[in-house]
Structure formats: C-alpha cells, structure tokens
Amino acid sequence: MNQFYQKDIISIKDFEKNSLETIFSATDKIMQLDPSDRREICKGKTLGYLFYEPSTRTRLSFDAAMASVGGNSLGISNMSSSSTQKGESLADTVRVMSIYSDVLVLRHTLDGSSRFAAEVSEKPVINAGSGTEEHPTQAIQDLFTIKKEKRKIDGLKIGIVGDLKYGRTVYSLLYGLGNYDVDVHLISPESLKIRSDSVYEIKKRLDFAESTDITETIDEFDVLYVTRIQKERFPDEEEYLKVKGSYVVGLDLIKQMKDDAIILHPLPRIDEISADVDKTKNAKYFEQAEYGKYTRAAILGLILNENGF
C-alpha cells in the first residue's frame, strides 16, 4: 500500500525511518528507470507552485522533477506580478491554485503557512519552506545524499555548522536524523545557536553536542553540513555583521578532515565554502542538488499514484 498517496508533506517530524526508506527506494528506482518509462509516472499531471520567497534550486528542482516524470508545472515565483499585490489572501490563492493543479508546492515567509495551506487546499500540499520552521524535502534530499555517498546513515558522525538559529534546513535535517543512530555536533556563534524552544523536541529524537570552534572536532566528522549566515532573517543588520564570515571552509580545513569525509550545503553559498573546495573529492553539494531533483520526482510520483510506480 502506498502510504504517500494524496498526502501532504508538511514536516519531516511526520516521517519515521521506514517512510524515509520508502522514498529512498523510490528515488533509486527513478534514477534507474529509462527516461521514457520515467515520463509515464506523472503523465498528464500538473504541479502548481507558489513561492512567496525567492528560490532557485527548490523551485527549479521541483519543476525539473515534474518534467522528468512526464508532468507539467505552472505557478507564481514572483509575487509582485500576482493578485497578492491586490490584497488577495493566502487562503484564496491556495484554493484557486489547487483548482488548476494536482499537487501544490508552497514556500512562504510565515511560520505555519504550509500547514494552513494544507487545511484549505483541495489538493496535496508540499512545504517548500515555511518561515523559520522547516524545509522537509530538503532534509529528505540531504539524508538521501548522505546514504548514497556514505553507503549508510547509521553510525556516522555529523557536524552541522553555521546559522543554526534561523536555518530551517537545519531543523528539518535534525528531525530527520532523529530516525537514525548518529552522533551530531552543532557548531555556531553563540548568537546563532539552535533555538531554545526547539531543543527539547529535538533532544527527544537525538542527542547532540554544541560548540563554537569548528577546529576542535573537524577531524572526527564523516559529514560536514555547512549553512550560510542568513542575512535576510536578522532583525538588525548590525547583529548580522557581527557574525558574518564566522566560518569559512577552505583547503586548510579540509586537510584536517577525514580523507573520505563529505561536505554538504543546502545552497545558496555566499562565502562559507571557498570556491577552491569545489574541485576536491570531499565536496558533494552539487551532487546533493542533483539528488534533490530525483528525490522530489519520487515524492511527486508517490503522491500522485495510488499504487506507487
């Protein structure tokens, strides 16, 4: 039985290990299928997207994913050209978009926006980023990348560095990692530590250590997950300037890492990973972006086909 048929994807907290592994298996199948067979999976289906915040990879990967499984996409990526400028509510925009599409992808600035959209939409809703809360399909993509590149997730030591306060990808990844036996170390400036209101819930899923110095434990990590300092989420630019450039992963730091350690980043990158790192065997963030297309194609295929594919 396909547990994802016509289901919303709102929070990674709704996933258990077996449901994640189901998506990973579907992703592997997607990657192995002949393109002509792959295009039959969502043939005749339409993906609708609403992006109230800028996006490059997430929107384009959903678009590319839907095309790869034979569907088409329509939507709004620039709200300045939509009826929101006339005062249309999120509820009405979602209702109308759900009329035109079979599945809806939403990114919004407000916490709780995707869960609200799921309540008013006639079609399944996928959360592509809701305020500072979560980005569940990014976490699925991240976990799949780790499994593909390291051949496993259980037993790994994972370092997560950067903006842990405002980075919604971090929260989704931590909730997802809670389904596995991993050793997690969080590294950030004091002002960007993981939010205290989330610590209790995350610690119900997994234990983690915290520090401000990346060099203390860099040689222990199997996976280094780097995030940018999110300037747009700081209420005060002066506070941003205090922490800008706190961590830069360069060749000097890579020399201290395990030889087979991998470096991930949800992108966009600003200055937290030097460009000369891109050519190293450790850099896997562009592969990570490619895996995003396939994991999202698998998710769409599962949501839109009662018996899977």
Mean pLDDT of 129-153: 94
Q: Which residue has the tokens 């980075």?
A: 167
The whole-number pLDDT of residue 26 equals 98
Q: Could you tell me the end-to-end alpha-carbon distance of the chain, in angstroms, rounded to an integer?
A: 11
Stated as kind and residue range, the H or E segment containing 145 is helix 136-150
Mean pLDDT of 200-222: 93
Average pLDDT in the chain: 92
Residue 194 DSSP code = P
The whole-number pLDDT of residue 85 equals 64
Per-residue confidence at 200, pLDDT binned at 50, 70, 90? confident
Residue 184: beta bridge partners?
Answer: 158, 208
Active site residues: 57-58, 86, 107, 135
Strand order, beta sheet including 72-76: 72-76, 46-51, 103-108, 125-130
Q: Are 52 and 77 in contact (CB under 8 A)?
A: no
Over the range 195-213, which residues count as b (16 or more CB within 10 Å of their CB) and which as e?
eeebeeebeeebebeeeee
Per-residue confidence at 182, pLDDT binned at 50, 70, 90? very high
Q: Tell me the pLDDT tens digit for each residue of 152-181.
A: 999 999 999 998 988 888 999 999 999 999
Q: Tell me the pLDDT tens digit for each residue of 256-308.
A: 999 999 999 999 898 899 999 999 999 999 999 999 999 999 999 999 999 99
Q: Tell me the pLDDT tens digit for each residue of 233-246.
A: 666 767 766 777 68
Q: Tell me the pLDDT tens digit for each residue of 102-130.
A: 999 999 988 899 999 999 999 999 999 98
Q: Is the pLDDT of residue 1 over 90?
A: no
Stated as kind and residue range, the H or E segment containing 223 is strand 223-226
Q: Are 258 and 219 in contact (CB under 8 A)?
A: yes
Nearest CA to 302 out of 19, 31, 44 is that of 19
For the chain, how are helix, strand and coil distributed in percent, rounded to 5? 45, 15, 40
The whole-number pLDDT of residue 53 equals 84
The whole-number pLDDT of residue 201 equals 86
Mean pLDDT of 24-46: 97
